[in-house]
């Protein structure tokens, strides 16, 4: 029976792959579909601290969720008009390909394979994540290259483990791996002193740190040893929709760069003389028409969702329990990678 | 006529009653048993006091935020704060009376079943109840606001999925059990193929098929409700197991019963429904309840396709950045809820067994 069932599994994997590769490019006019149904269909994580989480009224929040809200504000003028579909890692791409959702904003790493072979387009990077180390403060380690000989707690069977091995090998250092099956176990192992160092994605480490008995007793080292650019994804073949998602996100980044916030946007709209701000807010130029949207599309985003900095602050930054520093996610002017092409 | 005087029975001798004797008989009857007893006691001493310390003595019950959890033990505040989510998911607060009313009606139906004799009335009542329950929970008619299935969650979703699973897989299972014993070759081979195919595939695969692969085969724009897809998958899966359980019951019926029914000229369906099935079901009750209990527990697998049943709700609530790190409390709570439900189900099966027990033992 087990042989048979493994064959079935193989068969279903094969069907899945073929179906995934040949999935017909869904309806080419997502924008007018969205307009007529009155909501944006957005796929999110089933629960990831700071990225997407629901409260008991079914209201979703998080930095990934804000991308969906921004698109809804731009297209429909109301950030709350989103239908969220919580997805697991395995079903996420199928849900997008089959048209069950129109945007996938679910901490999805942008890789060449996904971009080029799944019939998908990545519309930007709303969070630059990467693998990092957390150490007990008592070790006095300030830098990842001081970790020679350390015992490292890691989740087994993940790319995290491979990144760890290649980092230590490339720096000519030795380490002892202590692997566990789930993140909870990794945390318990770290807390009980089985290892002095723990490694995982940076955002994950911050979430785990806040659950430790003594969060201040640990420190997350600044080095990032892998690239995990996370961003919203759309179907290939509908460039109007692709542009809308890409520029909705860019509007949030550009608004932060120009100092437009949800609080001062009304005042700026009435008083500003800056042509760049005027263009973003739809007072000048044809930017809205170019995207097949109304003039005030970006105003609605900033007013209802806020700029990128505000979203970051309340979901994962200092205004949240996660307290993740801006790091790579700072504006380009501040040494980060968040850079919006010009609104011209 | 001679009158006999009733003599009171003598009490058992003191050497065979009492706590010490009972212990000697049951716990310390041999060196091996003594050793096992001592080991068991040591184990309980090792496990229970720390658990009580964690769950009660050092636990936090008061408060509304994470900051109120100051003790070393469990933080039941978390459960208290998130209880509504565990129970109803995202079901709108003002509409929750509809779910409660459905639960209440269910109890009424169970009590009514105890006093009703006629099985046709029972089936009629159950059908009516099911229709009412659907309209109450889903709404959209008779002035009730529609509550979309993506708002269903928590214990309520667990119960809905298992109720649908049990109600539909039962008749379907009976049909396949009849089919497998049928003399008609086509029906027999269809039933055998179906049962053997389904039983060779894990439930997870079927749920994945229904959630991930099925949507790709539908034409663009037609999206089939995800919950409905999961329910259909579960019903088809469980029907195969129910059918094998019932077939076990069918085989326990002596062939004389079949022959007698044939001899008095009953048709196939009269024979099966009036003579064979009632006896077969009686034999199959304990195993059937076992299947239904495992169905109830299997419903937790829907979390892998992104439906928020009770267990998935725990995972969602523990990813709330303000409430990180309370997985243990959540899982203990879920364990307790599942235990209560499964225990009630097995108690109910016991009472059914007693009611239908016509054996002359």
Q: Look up the ipTM and state it.
A: 0.75
The sign one gets for the Cα dihedral B66, B70, B75, B77 is negative
Asked whether residue B335 is domain-assigned, the answer is no
Q: Is B228 helix (H, G, I), strand (E, B) or coil?
A: helix
Q: By the CB < 8 Å criterion, does A340 face chain B?
A: no
Asked whether residue B11 is domain-assigned, the answer is no
Task: Say if residue B173 is in the same domain as residue B279.
Answer: yes
The pLDDT of residue A25? 41
User: Is the pLDDT assigned to residue B163 strictly greater than 50?
Assistant: yes
**Stretch (H or E) spanning A121:** strand A120-122
Q: Tell me the mean pLDDT in the region A141-149.
A: 86
φ, ψ of residue B252 to 5 degrees: the values are: -80, -10
Task: Say if residue B142 is in the same domain as residue B165.
Answer: no
Nearest to B315 by CA among B153, B76, B202, B205: B153
Q: What dihedral do alpha carbons B217, B221, B225, B231 form, nearest 10°?
A: -10
Residue of A nearest to B196 (CA): A1
With beta carbons under 8 A apart, name residues in chain A contacting B228. none
φ, ψ of residue A320 to 5 degrees: the values are: -120, 165
The pLDDT of residue B220? 59
- Whose tokens are 């209802």? That residue is A304
Task: Say if residue B230 is in the same domain as residue B276.
Answer: yes
Asked whether residue B211 is domain-assigned, the answer is yes
The pLDDT of residue A34? 92
| A53/B85 CB distance under 8 A | no
Residues in CB range of B199: below 8 A, 6 or more apart: A1, B240, B241, B244
With beta carbons under 8 A apart, name residues in chain B contacting A99. 220-221, 223
Q: By the CB < 8 Å criterion, does A100 face chain B?
A: yes
Residue of B nearest to A101 (CA): B223
Asked whether residue B343 is domain-assigned, the answer is no
User: Is the pLDDT assigned to residue A240 strictly greater than 90?
Assistant: yes
Task: Say if residue B116 is in the same domain as residue B214.
Answer: no
Mutate to test the interface with B, among A3, A48, A56, A315 (most CBs of B within 10 A): A56
Q: By the CB < 8 Å criterion, does B246 face chain A?
A: no
Structural domain that includes position B235: 156-307
The CA distance from A98 to B216, in Å, is: 5
With beta carbons under 8 A apart, name residues in chain B contacting A98. 215-216, 218, 223
Smallest Cβ–Cβ distance between B90 and the set A12, A58, A212 belongs to A58
With beta carbons under 8 A apart, name residues in chain B contacting A320. 321
> Which residues 92-121 on chain B approach chain A with CB closer than 8 angstroms?
92-93
Whether the CB-CB separation of A326 and A312 falls below 8 Å is answered with: yes
| B150/A98 CB distance under 8 A | no
The sign one gets for the Cα dihedral A72, A73, A76, A80 is positive
Q: Is B107 helix (H, G, I), strand (E, B) or coil?
A: helix
Asked whether residue B212 is domain-assigned, the answer is yes
| A5/B208 CB distance under 8 A | no
Smallest Cβ–Cβ distance between B324 and the set A91, A97, A207 belongs to A207
Task: Say if residue B137 is in the same domain as residue B166.
Answer: no
Smallest Cβ–Cβ distance between B90 and the set A16, A53, A54 belongs to A54
Q: Mutual orientation of helices A297-304 and A63-76 as an angle, nearest 10°?
A: 140
Q: Is B154 helix (H, G, I), strand (E, B) or coil?
A: helix
Q: Among residues B290, B307, B324, which one ends one of the domains?
A: B307
| A98/B322 CB distance under 8 A | no
Smallest Cβ–Cβ distance between A49 and the set B93, B303, B324 belongs to B324
The pLDDT of residue B158? 92
| B324/A1 CB distance under 8 A | no
Residue of A nearest to B92 (CA): A57
Q: By the CB < 8 Å criterion, does B147 face chain A?
A: no
Task: Say if residue B297 is in the same domain as residue B166.
Answer: yes
Q: Is A127 helix (H, G, I), strand (E, B) or coil?
A: strand
Q: What is the mean pLDDT of chain B?
A: 86
Nearest to A23 by CA among B223, B216, B211, B219: B216
Task: Say if residue B184 is in the same domain as residue B300.
Answer: yes
User: Is the pLDDT assigned to residue A74 strictly greater than 60?
Assistant: yes
> B188-220: per-residue pLDDT in tens?
999 999 999 999 999 888 888 887 777 777 765
Whether the CB-CB separation of B99 and B91 falls below 8 Å is answered with: yes
CB atoms within 10 A of CB A178: 17
Q: Which two tokens stand for residue B96?
A: 């929750």
Task: Say if residue B224 is in the same domain as residue B118.
Answer: no
Parts of chain A belonging to CATH 3.40.190.10: 14-128+230-334, 131-226
Task: Say if residue B162 is in the same domain as residue B295.
Answer: yes
Task: Say if residue B229 is in the same domain as residue B264.
Answer: yes
| A98/B216 CB distance under 8 A | yes
Domain of B170, CATH number, reads: 1.10.3720.10
CATH superfamily of A14-128+230-334: Periplasmic binding protein-like II (3.40.190.10)
Beta strands in chain B, from DSSP E residues, in sequence order: none
Query: Rounded to two decimals, what is the model's pTM?
Result: 0.80
Asked whether residue B22 is domain-assigned, the answer is no
> Which residues 312-331 on chain A approach chain B with CB closer than 8 angstroms?
315, 320-322
Using pLDDT thresholds of 50, 70 and 90, give the confidence band for residue A31: very high
The CA distance from B321 to A194, in Å, is: 26
User: Does domain A131-226 fall into CATH 3.40.50.720?
Assistant: no
The CA distance from B288 to B216, in Å, is: 35
Q: By the CB < 8 Å criterion, does A25 face chain B?
A: no
Using pLDDT thresholds of 50, 70 and 90, give the confidence band for residue A242: very high
Q: Among residues B147, B178, B197, which one ends one of the domains?
A: B147
Q: Is A199 helix (H, G, I), strand (E, B) or coil?
A: strand
Q: Domain count for chain B, please give it.
A: 2
Q: Among residues B292, B307, B322, which one ends one of the domains?
A: B307
Task: Say if residue B182 is in the same domain as residue B295.
Answer: yes
Q: Measured between CA atoms, how close is A192 to chain B, in angstroms?
A: 15
What Rg, from alpha-carbon coordinates, does chain A have? 22
Task: Say if residue B210 is in the same domain as residue B274.
Answer: yes
| A19/B216 CB distance under 8 A | yes
> B315-329: per-residue pLDDT in tens?
888 888 788 778 888
Q: What dihedral do alpha carbons B122, B124, B128, B134 form, nearest 10°?
A: 80
Nearest to A96 by CA among A300, A204, A303, A237: A237
> A291-308: per-residue pLDDT in tens?
999 999 999 999 999 999
Asked whether residue B356 is domain-assigned, the answer is no
* b/e per residue B180-215 (b: at least 16 CB within 10 A): bbeeeeebeeebeebbeebebbebebbbbbbbbbbb
């Amino acid at each position: 029976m087990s042989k048979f069932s493994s064959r079935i599994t193989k068969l279903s994997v094969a069907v899945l792959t073929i179906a995934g590769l040949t999935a017909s490019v869904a309806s080419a006019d997502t924008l007018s579909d969205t307009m007529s149904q009155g909501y944006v269909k957005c796929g999110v994580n089933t629960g990831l601290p700071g990225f997407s989480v629901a409260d008991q009224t079914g209201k979703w929040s998080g930095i990934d969720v804000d991308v969906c809200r921004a698109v809804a504000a731009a297209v429909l003028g109301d950030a709350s008009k989103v239908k969220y579909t919580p997805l697991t890692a395995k079903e996420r791409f199928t849900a997008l390909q089959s048209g069950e959702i129109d945007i996938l904003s679910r901490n999805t790493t942008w890789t060449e394979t996904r971009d080029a072979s799944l019939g998908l387009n990545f519309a930007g990077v709303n969070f630059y994540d990467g693998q990092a180390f957390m150490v007990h403060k008592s070790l006095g380690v300030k830098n990842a290259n001081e970790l020679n000989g350390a015992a490292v707690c890691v989740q087994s069977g993940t790319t995290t483990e491979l990144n760890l091995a290649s980092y230590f090998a490339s720096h000519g250092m030795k380490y002892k791996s202590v692997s566990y099956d789930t993140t909870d176990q990794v945390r318990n192992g770290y807390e009980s002193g089985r290892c002095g160092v723990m490694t995982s994605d940076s955002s994950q480490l911050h979430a785990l740190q806040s659950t430790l008995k003594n969060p201040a007793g640990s420190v997350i080292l600044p080095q990032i040893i892998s690239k995990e650019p996370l961003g919203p994804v759309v179907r290939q073949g509908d460039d109007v929709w692709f542009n809308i998602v890409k520029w909705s996100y860019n509007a949030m980044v550009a608004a932060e760069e120009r100092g437009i916030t949800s609080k001062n946007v009304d005042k700026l709209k009435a008083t500003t003389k800056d042509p760049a701000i005027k263009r973003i807010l739809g007072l000048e130029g044809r930017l809205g028409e170019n995207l097949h949207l109304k003039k005030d599309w970006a105003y609605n985003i900033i007013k209802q969702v806020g700029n990128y900095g505000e979203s970051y602050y309340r979901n994962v930054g200092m205004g949240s329990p996660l307290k993740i520093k801006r790091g790579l996610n700072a504006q380009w002017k501040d040494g980060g990678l968040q850079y919006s092409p010009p609104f011209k | 006529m001679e009158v006999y005087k009733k003599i009171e029975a003598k009490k058992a001798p003191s050497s065979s009653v009492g706590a010490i004797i009972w212990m000697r008989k049951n716990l310390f009857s041999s060196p091996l048993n003594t050793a096992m007893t001592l080991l068991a006691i040591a184990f309980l001493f090792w496990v229970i006091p720390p658990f009580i310390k964690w769950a009660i003595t050092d636990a936090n019950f008061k408060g509304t935020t994470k900051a109120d959890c100051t003790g070393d033990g469990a933080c039941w505040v978390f459960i208290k704060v998130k209880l509504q989510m565990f129970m109803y998911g995202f079901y709108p607060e003002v509409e929750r009376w509809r779910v409660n009313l459905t639960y209440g009606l269910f109890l009424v139906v169970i009590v009514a079943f105890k006093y009703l004799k006629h099985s046709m009335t029972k089936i009629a009542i159950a059908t009516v109840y099911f229709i009412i329950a659907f309209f109450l929970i889903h709404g959209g008619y008779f002035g009730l606001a529609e509550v979309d299935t993506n708002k269903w969650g928590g214990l309520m979703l667990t119960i809905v999925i298992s109720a649908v699973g049990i109600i539909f897989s039962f008749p379907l299972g009976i049909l396949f059990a009849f089919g497998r014993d049928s003399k008609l070759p086509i029906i027999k081979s269809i039933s055998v193929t179906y049962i053997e195919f389904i039983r060779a595939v894990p439930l997870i695969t079927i749920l994945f098929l229904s959630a991930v692969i099925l949507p790709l085969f539908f034409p663009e724009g037609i999206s089939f409700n995800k919950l409905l897809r999961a329910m259909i998958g579960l019903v088809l899966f469980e029907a195969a197991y129910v059918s094998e359980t019932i077939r076990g019951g069918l085989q326990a019926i002596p062939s004389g019963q079949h022959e007698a029914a044939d001899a008095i000229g009953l048709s196939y369906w009269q024979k099966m429904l009036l003579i064979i099935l009632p006896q077969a079901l009686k034999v199959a009750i304990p195993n059937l309840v076992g299947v239904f209990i495992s169905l109830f527990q299997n419903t937790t697998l829907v979390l892998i396709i992104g439906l928020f049943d009770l267990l998935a709700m725990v995972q969602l609530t523990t990813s709330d950045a303000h409430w990180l790190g309370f997985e243990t409390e959540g899982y203990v709570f879920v364990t307790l809820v599942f235990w209560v439900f499964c225990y009630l189900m097995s108690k109910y099966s016991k009472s059914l067994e007693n009611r239908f027990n016509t054996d002359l033992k």
